[in-house]
C-alpha cells in the first residue's frame, strides 16, 4: 500500500508538472500571437503579458481577465510616446484564432493607457519657437530668449499644465525676466509667447485622454476606452 501511495503521488506530481509546462508554453504562444496583432496598431512589436493562472482555462473560454501591453516607444502623429503601457481587462479572443496564429480582431471591455511625453517632444511642437521645458514645483517651467521692446531677453514662465480635450496646454501663470516678475508693458508684450498647445490625436487603440501629470522627464498622459474592438 505504501508503494502504491508513493506511485500515485509521483504520478500526480508528474501530471501537474506537465500541466504547468503546457500552460506556460500555451501562454507564451498566445502572447506572441497577440504581440503580432498589436504591431499593426502600435507600429512596433510590444511585450504582451497575459496575467493569471492557469492560462489554459482562460484560453478555452476565449476570455482573458487581464492583459498588459508595453513598449519603450510608440510614435503617433509626430509625437513620441515613451514608456507606453496598456492595461486591458475583459479581453475576448476565440481559442480557434489563437491556435491558427491569426487574430483579426480583439474585443476589450476596458482599456487604460499611460505614456510619457518628454519635455523635448512638447518643445518640438512649439511652432518654430525655441523653448526649453522642464519640471516646476507645481507645473511646468518654460525658458526662452524672446525679443521684447527691441531687445532680446531671457524669459522664464512658471506655467500650468492642463488638458483640453485631446490637447495638452502649457499656460504661463507667472513670467520672470532676469529673475524679476514681469509687469506692465513688459508683461503685455510677453503674454502668450511662451504658451503651448500640443494636440495628441490618433492615439493607439482609439483611447481618449483623461489626465496629464508633469514629472522629472516629461508629462505623463493617461487615457482610456471602453467597449473597444481592435484590429478591424
125-146, pLDDT tens digit by residue? 877 788 899 999 889 999 999 8
196, part of any domain: yes
- Asked if 59 and 154 sit in the same domain, the reply is no
Q: What percentage of the chain reaches a pLDDT higher than 70?
A: 85
Q: What is the pLDDT of residue 212?
A: 95
- Asked if 84 and 130 sit in the same domain, the reply is no
CB 84 within 8 A of CB 95: no
Region 78-88: what's the mean pLDDT? 91
The dihedral formed by the CA atoms of 19, 23, 26 and 27, expressed in degrees to the nearest 10: 180
CB 85 within 8 A of CB 115: yes
- Asked if 104 and 142 sit in the same domain, the reply is no
Number of domains in the chain: 2
* Residue 179 pLDDT greater than 70, yes or no: yes
211, part of any domain: no
- Asked if 113 and 142 sit in the same domain, the reply is no
* Residue 181 pLDDT greater than 70, yes or no: yes
Q: What is the pLDDT of residue 148?
A: 78
* Residue 231 pLDDT greater than 70, yes or no: no
89, part of any domain: yes
C-alpha cell at 64: 482573458
* Residue 123 pLDDT greater than 70, yes or no: yes
22 or 217, greater pLDDT: 217
* Residue 188 pLDDT greater than 90, yes or no: no
C-alpha 49/C-alpha 70 separation (Å) is 9
Q: What is the pLDDT of residue 8?
A: 30
- Asked if 79 and 128 sit in the same domain, the reply is no
209, part of any domain: no
- Asked if 51 and 164 sit in the same domain, the reply is no
210, part of any domain: no
Confidence label for 211 from pLDDT (cuts 50, 70 and 90):
very high
- Asked if 89 and 192 sit in the same domain, the reply is no
- In three-state form (DSSP H/G/I as H, E/B as E, the rest C), the secondary structure along 9-50 is HHHHHHHHHHHHHHHHHHHHHHHHHHHHHHHHHHCCCCEEEE
* Residue 6 pLDDT greater than 60, yes or no: no
230 or 216, greater pLDDT: 216
Inter-CA distances, 107 with 11, 73, 84, 221, Å: 40, 24, 20, 24
- Asked if 44 and 104 sit in the same domain, the reply is yes
Among residues 114, 103, 113, 109, the alpha carbon closest in space to that of 36 is found at 103
- Asked if 186 and 75 sit in the same domain, the reply is no
C-alpha cell at 174: 507667472
- Asked if 6 and 110 sit in the same domain, the reply is yes
Region 68-81: what's the mean pLDDT? 89
The average confidence (pLDDT) of the chain is 81
Confidence label for 1 from pLDDT (cuts 50, 70 and 90):
very low
Residues 6+ apart with CB under 8 A from 68: 48, 49, 51, 85, 86, 87, 88
Over residues 16-66, the pLDDT tens digits come to: 333 344 567 777 877 887 788 788 888 899 999 888 777 778 777 788 888
213, part of any domain: no
Inter-CA distances, 180 with 68, 127, 183, 185, 186, Å: 48, 27, 9, 14, 11
Determine the structural domain holding residue 128 and report its residue range.
Answer: 120-204
Q: What is the pLDDT of residue 15?
A: 30
* Residue 228 pLDDT greater than 90, yes or no: no
* Residue 9 pLDDT greater than 70, yes or no: no
- Asked if 13 and 80 sit in the same domain, the reply is yes
Q: What is the pLDDT of residue 98?
A: 64
C-alpha 228/C-alpha 36 separation (Å) is 18
Amino acid at each position: 500500500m505504501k508503494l502504491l501511495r508513493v506511485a500515485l503521488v509521483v504520478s500526480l506530481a508528474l501530471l501537474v508538472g506537465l500541466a504547468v509546462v503546457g500552460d506556460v508554453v500555451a501562454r507564451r504562444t498566445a502572447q506572441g500571437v497577440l504581440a503580432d496583432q498589436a504591431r499593426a496598431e502600435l507600429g512596433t512589436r510590444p511585450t504582451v503579458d497575459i496575467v493569471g493562472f492557469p492560462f489554459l482555462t482562460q484560453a478555452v473560454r476565449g476570455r482573458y481577465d487581464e492583459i498588459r501591453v508595453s513598449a519603450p516607444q510608440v510614435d503617433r502623429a509626430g509625437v513620441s510616446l515613451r514608456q507606453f503601457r496598456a492595461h486591458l481587462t475583459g479581453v475576448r479572443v476565440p481559442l480557434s484564432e489563437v491556435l491558427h496564429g491569426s487574430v483579426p480582431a480583439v474585443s476589450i471591455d476596458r482599456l487604460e493607457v499611460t505614456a510619457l511625453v518628454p519635455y523635448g517632444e512638447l518643445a518640438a511642437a512649439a511652432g518654430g519657437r525655441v523653448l526649453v521645458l522642464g519640471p516646476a514645483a507645481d507645473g511646468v517651467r518654460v525658458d526662452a530668449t524672446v525679443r521684447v521692446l527691441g531687445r532680446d531677453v531671457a524669459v522664464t514662465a512658471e506655467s500650468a499644465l492642463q488638458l483640453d480635450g485631446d490637447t495638452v496646454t502649457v499656460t504661463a501663470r507667472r513670467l520672470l525676466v532676469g529673475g524679476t516678475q514681469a509687469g506692465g508693458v513688459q508683461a503685455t508684450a510677453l503674454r502668450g509667447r511662451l504658451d503651448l498647445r500640443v494636440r495628441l490625436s490618433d492615439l493607439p487603440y482609439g483611447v481618449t485622454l483623461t489626465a496629464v501629470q508633469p514629472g522629472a522627464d516629461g508629462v505623463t498622459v493617461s487615457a482610456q476606452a471602453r467597449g473597444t474592438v481592435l484590429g478591424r
